[in-house]
Chain A
Amino acid sequence: MTQLVLEQALNGLQFGLMLFLLAAGLTLVFGIMDCINLAHGSLYMVGAYFVAAAAQAADSFWLGLGVGVAGTAGLGLLLELTLFRQLYRRDHLSQVLATFALILIANEAVRLIWGPAPLMLNPPDALAGPVEIGGFFYPAYRLLIIGCGLAVAALLYLLVAKSRVGMWVRAGAANREITEALGINVRALFTAVFVFGAALCALAGGLLGPLLAVQVGMGESVLILAFVVIIIGGIGSIRGALVGALIVGAVDTLGRALLPTLLGAVLPADAASTLGPALASILIYLLMAGILFFRPQGLFPARA
């Protein structure tokens, strides 16, 4: 039993950390620039495709990951300079429309270039099997994802909480006008944050590629989850994004693992097998609704 709980906790951690990579960029763009970027999920998809294509071309997963992340960061830079700069001053509806258009363009472009069938991205051979930790087996590749996620979280913490740039970012999130008045080049800061967010998207897409599938439309479902995470965590807060992502990861995994069994104890097996999975998949939305009701500003709001 302890083994099952431990394994599910690791699964939840792995899922949560990947959500964090996505939510971190999203929450900064939303919190600091007050810009709703629906195309954030498309950056994740394009990033995964870049990584998969580069990995296939170079025949090396690690090289592919590096090239793919750099390529997506470049694409992010291009998008920020050409499109998003025009959007910051506009209202949310214009931002939603423009970035929704980006989703459609990205999906069709990917379909044109790589075709409708999913791309296969395999983990490095050394990590394809299980490893033994404390008497039980866990997939090595998932451990790597956990490691990468923790490293990025630590890096972000140092960057945001300890560095001067991080201070500007936090200041920008708390009050943009005052920050500008203090003589900080908010424009360049915005560009840097956006590009960094795009790189994190590609990292998540590339790491999840071998586990899931690199396919058209993979960004949309994950985008919804990323929004749930930043709503729970509080918009603009990296700490909120981390906590929110871990909560969503844990609730989703534990819900899927435990709910059908728990319900089975109360309900007849037939009803439990129908209700359990259905309830498990709406659990995180119930959680979000609860947070919105009791703490509408999220757990760690950036603007106090």
Chain B
Amino acid sequence: MPIRLTALAAALLLAGAAHAADQIKVGFVSTLSGPGAGLGVDIRDGFQLAMKQLNGKLGGLPAEVLVADDQQNPDVAKQATDKLLKKDKVDFMTGIVFSNLMLAVGPAVFQNQTFYISANAGPSQYAGEQCNPFFFNVAWQNDNLHEAVGKYVQDKGFKNVVIVTPNYPGGKDAVSGFKRYYKDQVSEEIYTKLGQLDYAAELAKVRAGKPDALFFFLPGGMGINFVKQFVAAGLSRDTQLFAPGFSADEDVIKAVGAPMMGMFNSSHWAHDMDNAENKRFVAAFEKEYGRLPSLYASQGYDAALMMDAAVRDVKGNVADKKALQKALEAKRFKSVRGDFKFNSNHYPVQNYYLRVIGKDAQGRVTNKTMGSIFTNHADAYAAQCKMK
């Protein structure tokens, strides 16, 4: 009896490989606790909102989303990912916020030939020499938003600029991105511990340097504390703050409030962007969760739409990896950021916009789109990528 059962199971597996799967499984590992939790929660909520609008289906097939918390810890992320790959045999992976975690789990995912649709982390490694057919980033390459700020700060003629960023791969990408378009000498680069919450020592250094502009990249709780302490130290009187959209979106604004007004930041998406998909998304998100979506939420939403379109494209036959890769590359979904396409390295080529924080018509402190900084902008690493 056991032998016959095994044979039956094997036959079923073979049949499954040739035909459409009857269910799509998505492994969602993200930072859902600790100071970075706001980011992971927003990506998850965006993703789940899309799933709800798709009636719990991806490409017409019933879908299951398996959510796990990585606690912003590479080891925990690896364990959770291994379990999803080996035990649950998921068809897609997504969710990771931080690049150091992405680099930790990437090899296992690629070796397993599972498609990773990154809704946030876009490390330079996977955009350049280590690019991989199984890795897609639906958001941006890490440097991009920093490049946009660098260009704007350069165009506005700021001369004494200080950068504050955590000492980890994403932070290094931020500095190189900013400096790629800010051509003058940066006065000082300050590196902090990842997850640091007290910036007293760094702010004293900033005060001593008397910069006219300060560019910081401190995602999640780090940015919340930094801006609060920056304002409490009275530095906002002489120094203009600049940040990529990550450090100036709804999660940070909600926590900091009015002191953030007047801060410039860059993004590939904004909740006031004028297209039908975005209006529908923002309205649905507000209704579902009672808050404005952040760019993280938009990225999670797009990741789900991207999987949906690709599964539909291959008619549910997700076992055919080559066809599925082609379908993902084709990008047949309508993104809430408007049109974009994938580059040869599976990272987006898209527009980047300048936003400023102010009060909207209803008196809420939020972002307002000012105009575009880059159009059809690609990342700097694509040329080094030889996609198989």
Stretch at the interface among A30-38, A62-70, A113-121, A182-190: A113-121
Report the minimum CB–CB distance from B192 to chain A (whole Å).
7
Query: Closest chain B residue to A217 by CB distance?
Result: B34
**Which residue of the partner chain, among A1, A14, A111, contacts B33 with CB atoms under 8 Å?**
A111
Binds A, one of B55-63, B136-144, B225-233, B293-301: B225-233
- A1, A212, A276, A281: the one within 8 Å of B208 (CB): A1
Across the interface, do B198 and A211 meet the contact criterion of CB distance under 8 Å?
yes
Chain B residues near A8: list those with CB within 8 A.
201, 204
Contacts of A273 in B (CB 8 A): 167, 189, 191
A128 at the binding interface (Cβ < 8 Å)? yes
| Residues in A whose Cβ lies below 8 Å from that of B189 | 269, 273
Question: How extensive is the interface on chain B, given as a class?
Answer: 20 to 34
A257 surroundings in chain B (CB, below 8 A): 201-202, 204-205
- In the complex, whether B200 has a CB less than 8 A from a CB of chain A is yes
Question: Chain B nearest CB: distance from A144 CB in Å?
Answer: 11
Closest residue to B167 on the A side, CB-wise?
A: A277
Q: B34, A142: Cβ atoms under 8 Å?
A: no
- Most chain A beta-carbon neighbours within 10 Å: one of B225, B231, B234: B234
CA distance A7 to B198 in the complex (A): 14
> Bound complex: CA of A11 vs CA of B207, how far in Å?
13
Instruction: Determine whether A216 belongs to the interface, using a CB cutoff of 8 Å to chain B.
Output: yes
Question: What are 20 inter-chain pairs, A to B, with CB distance below 8 A?
Answer: A4-B205, A11-B200, A15-B198, A116-B34, A116-B37, A117-B41, A118-B37, A129-B231, A137-B233, A139-B229, A142-B232, A211-B229, A213-B197, A215-B221, A253-B200, A257-B201, A257-B204, A260-B190, A260-B191, A277-B167
Report chain B residues within 8 Å CB of A117: 33, 37-38, 41
Residues of A at the B interface (CB closer than 8 Å) are 1, 3-4, 7-8, 11, 14-15, 111, 116-118, 120, 123, 128-130, 136-142, 211-213, 215-217, 253-254, 256-257, 260, 269, 273-274, 276-278, 281
* Measured CA separation A257–B200 after assembly (Å): 9
In angstroms, Cα B69 to Cα A217, docked, is: 15
B224, CB-defined interface residue at 8 Å: yes
Closest to A107 in B: B33
A147 to chain B, nearest CB (A): 16
- What string of 1s and 0s marks CB contacts (under 8 Å) between B236-276 and chain A? 00000000000000000001000000000000000000000
Measured between alpha carbons, how far is A278 from B205 in the docked complex, in Å?
18
Task: Check B338 for interface membership: any CB of A closer than 8 A.
Answer: no
Cβ of A130 and Cβ of B198 under 8 Å apart?
Answer: no
CB distance from A219 to the nearest CB of B (A): 13
Q: How far is the CA of A274 from the CA of B34 in the complex (A)?
A: 25
Q: How far is the CA of A280 from the CA of B19 in the complex (A)?
A: 58
Residues in A whose Cβ lies below 8 Å from that of B193: 277, 281
User: Is the CB of B35 closer than 8 A to any CB of chain A?
Assistant: yes
Q: Please give me the residue from chain B that is nearest to A269 by CB atom.
A: B189
B229 in contact with A118 (CB, 8 Å): no
Q: A142-B200, A277-B191, A277-B193 are in contact. List 5 more A-B contacts (CB 8 A).
A: A15-B200, A117-B41, A137-B234, A213-B197, A281-B193
Q: Mark B185-197, 1 if CB is under 8 A from A, else 0.
A: 0000111110001
B34, B201, B255: the one contacting A120 at CB < 8 Å is B255
A213 and B234 within 8 A (CB) = no
A253 to B202, CA, bound (A): 9
> Is B109 among interface residues, defined by CB-CB distance under 8 A?
no
The interface residues of chain A lying within 8 Å CB-to-CB of B234 are 129-130, 137, 139
